[in-house]
Amino acid sequence: MRSYLPKQNSLSFQNSLSFAGADLSVGPGGRITTRAHTRVRPYIFFSVSILLFVLSTNHTSAQKPRIPTGGRVAIVVDERLSALRATPGLAARLEQRLSRGRYVAITGTQKTADGLTFYEVKVSRRRRGWLQAGAVVSAALAADDDRLLRLLRGSDDFDLVARARIFLDTFPRSSLRPAVLQLYAEAAEQAAAKLSRDAGRRLNRNEMAAGGAPEFSYFMNFNELDRYNRQGIKFVFDAAGKRFHYDGAAWREIVRRYPQSAEAVEARKRIETLKVAAGK
Chain segment 153-163, per-residue pLDDT in tens:
999 999 999 99
Residue 98 CA from chain centroid, whole number: 16
pTM of the model: 0.77
Among 12-16, 166-170, 179-183, 253-257, which stretch is predicted with the lowest mean pLDDT? 12-16
Q: Which pLDDT score is estimated for 66?
A: 85
Question: pLDDT grade, residue 61 (50/70/90)?
Answer: very low
Chain segment 210-219, per-residue pLDDT in tens:
999 999 999 9
Evaluate if residue 81 carries a pLDDT over 80: yes
Evaluate if residue 142 carries a pLDDT over 70: yes
Distance separating alpha carbons of residues 149 and 206, to the nearest angstrom = 45
Residue 138 CA from chain centroid, whole number: 18
Cβ pair 270, 263 in contact under 8 A: no
Q: Which of 167, 70, 43 is nearest to 128 (CA)?
A: 70
Question: pLDDT grade, residue 55 (50/70/90)?
Answer: very low
